[in-house]
Structure 1
Amino acid sequence: MADAAFWFNGWAAPTPYGLGTTVTTTIRRLAAQDRAAWDPLWAAYCAFYRAEVDATVTAYTFERLCEGTSMSGFIALDEQGTAVGFTNTLFHESTWSLRSYCYLEDLFVAPEQRGTGVARALIEQVYAEADARGAERVYWHTQEFNAAARSLYDTLARRTSFIVYRR
């Protein structure tokens, strides 16, 4: 098996990919010039979860993700520079800690890139960002039916017993 090099802010980490194929994925901070590439991924993500997000909310969210203060985003680009995935995170205070928490609110990888290590690389970049900001934990939710993603998540984090309620 060949190794793929996933680049995290200038650092490479070899990741097994497939039968003799080598792919390089670049993970970097989301920037204003990424809007046209991010939009179709965001639309596909929302469609996967059967969610409709108003265009005004999407524009405002993208703007805040690029600012990188309490919200931040990363984008994954393939060897040709095509956007193939993203993460959106929210850093917030906690009543149980002096340090902040990082909520990985959104993670999406284009269907044709799934299983190649892109999601793992994106999550590991979120971990690195959370560590750099001194966050105590990184957490996220997923749908119970999302078995493929959950099989990856089970290798990267511990599942908790919490059930989510919302109004």
Structure 2
Amino acid sequence: MNVIACDLHYLDAAADLFNQYRMFYQEADDLPASRAFLKANLETGNSRIYLLLDDEGQAIAFAQLYPATCSLAMKRFYWLYDLFVVPHARRGGHARYLMQQLIGIFQAEGAQRLSLDTAGSNLAAQALYESLGYEAEQEFVTYHKVLDR
């Protein structure tokens, strides 16, 4: 297995995984829009995308992270917003491997933390994150105001 930073060379593979990820969350199948969205993110540096390649070089998982800054720590951190493993590769340790590699990458860069959200019903993801040392937020309450409907 190999984790790579996605660039435009791998855009089609990333877009396919991202489209599958969106469909997993009951969004419409829209490969062209998925591709355009990721292309814009890569070109602007709005997000960082990583792919997990299997031993044959096929992309079987991806993660998309957005940079942010912690004002109190005065350091950069990353918000893991998207994580997806193709169905045939699930339960094979691929998500764990990808997450461990991301922790190493961002730790080496001096990032203050990696943050993420997951559905309350996604017990498998919660177990994975907790086994990697993530802690559920206890101090702050998150609010959202949806501006675009």
1:49 equivalenced with 2:25 (yes/no): yes
Structure-2 change in CA distance of 1:62 and 1:132 (3 Å): farther
Supply the RMSD in Å over aligned alpha carbons: 2.2
Match of 2:8 in 1: 32
- Cα distance in 2 for partners of 1:91, 1:82 equals 27
User: How many pairs align?
Assistant: 142
Would you say 1:95 and 2:95 are equivalent positions?
no
Q: Does the 8 A contact of 1:70 with 1:92 survive in 2? A: no
Structure 2: gaps (5+ residues): none
Uncovered stretches (5+) of structure 1, i.e. residues with no partner: 1-24
- 1:151 maps to 127
In the alignment, does 2:84 pair up with 1:108?
yes
Indicate which of 7, 11, 36 corresponds to 1:59: 36
Moved beyond 4 Å, runs of 4+: 52-58
CA distance in 1, matches of 2:60, 2:47: 20
Residues in 2 aligned to 1:57 and 1:110: alpha-carbon distance in whole angstroms: 16
AA aligned opposite 2:18: W
1:6-25 → structure 2 map (5 Å cutoff): 25=1
What is the CA–CA distance in structure 2 between the aligned matches of 1:66 and 1:124, rounded to whole Å? 26
Q: Is the contact between residue 51 and residue 63 of structure 2 (CA under 8 Å) also seen in structure 1?
A: yes
User: Structure 2-normalised TM-score?
Assistant: 0.82
Code of the residue aligned with 1:153 in structure 2: it is Y
Once the 2 structures are TM-superposed, how far is the Cα of residue 64 of structure 1 from its aligned partner? 2.6
User: Structure 1 residues 70, 36: CA separation in 2 closer, same or farther (over 3 Å shift)?
Assistant: closer
1:165 pairs, out of 134, 143, 148, with: 143
Shift of 1:101: 1.2
Partner of 2:51: 75
- SS of 1:81's equivalent in the other structure is coil
In the alignment, structure 1 residue 127 sits paired with structure 2 residue 114: no
How far apart in 2 are the matches of 1:72 and 1:104? Answer: 10
